[in-house]
Amino acid sequence: MRQFSAAVQNVINIDNIRFAFLIKLEFNTTYYLTSFNRDIEYNNNIYLANGGLYEFDSPKFSSVVDRESYKIVISEVLDTLSAEFRANVVGKPISVFVALLDANGEPLLGLSDVLSVYKGYVDSPSITNDFEQKLAVIEGTSPMSDLDMVRSFMTSKNGMEQVNSSDTSFVEIFENKEITVKWGKV
């Protein structure tokens, strides 16, 4: 069971829960964005309110091992993310946190107060432009996305030399050596 700090538990006990998202994009430059109405300092970083955060998925609970995706949409007026996408951001980390707001509307920003709701990696970044607005769409997947990955491995002498030049395990495969294997009880 997840444990919450006393301050977070007090907010949860109130019927009207309000919150702000904190999004960290670790590209070639690290971007800190928030859905709050002003900049927020959390964990020695400034999360920008005017960073162009346009839309984001709500956290989803999944009880099975899957590759649940998460989508973030950011206004792309300055072309900074377009340049990042061209420099390849696939596989770069994404972190999404939620800071609950207290009764005064101020975010709870203690390290034990902010909740991590998503950690994953960029899977498919794209730019959309409908001549009225230009948006950077970042779709992230969980670490379980590797379950779908297929990697080929060349079983030849030269294939193994690319991995480890001192490994001779594939030398006999290369020479097509024939052996007899006895099956069952010997």
Tell me the DSSP string of 66-106. ---EEEEEEE-SSSHHHHHHHT--TT-EEEEEEEEB-TTS-
Average pLDDT over residues 97-122: 91
For the question of whether the overall pTM of this predicted structure is more than 0.75, the answer is: no
% of residues, the chain, pLDDT over 70: 76
Helix (H) or strand (E) segment spanning residue 12: helix 6-13
Q: What 8-state DSSP symbol labels residue 173? A: H
Distance CA 89, CA 27 (A): 6
Residue 45 pLDDT > 60: yes
| Structure-model confidence comparison of residues 140 and 1, the more confident one | 140
pLDDT (tens digit, 9 = 90+) per residue, 121-178? 898 899 998 888 899 999 988 655 555 556 665 666 676 677 777 877 776 665 555 6
Distance CA 59, CA 51 (A): 21
Distance CA 186, CA 169 (A): 25
Of 57-61, 88-92, 180-184, the range with the highest mean pLDDT is 88-92
Average pLDDT over residues 80-96: 92
Adjacent-strand bridge partners of 98: 21, 115
**SS3 of the chain: helix, strand, coil, percent, to 5:** 15, 35, 50
| Contact indicator for 56, 132 with CB cutoff of 8 Å | no
Average pLDDT over residues 53-68: 66
Write the Ramachandran bin of 146: left for phi over 0, alpha for psi from -120 to 50, otherwise beta: alpha
Residue 99 pLDDT > 60: yes
Distance CA 93, CA 30 (A): 10
- The per-residue b/e assignment along 37-53, b for 16 or more CB within 10 angstroms, e otherwise, is eeebebeeeebbeebbb
| Predicted confidence band of residue 14 (pLDDT cuts 50, 70, 90) | confident
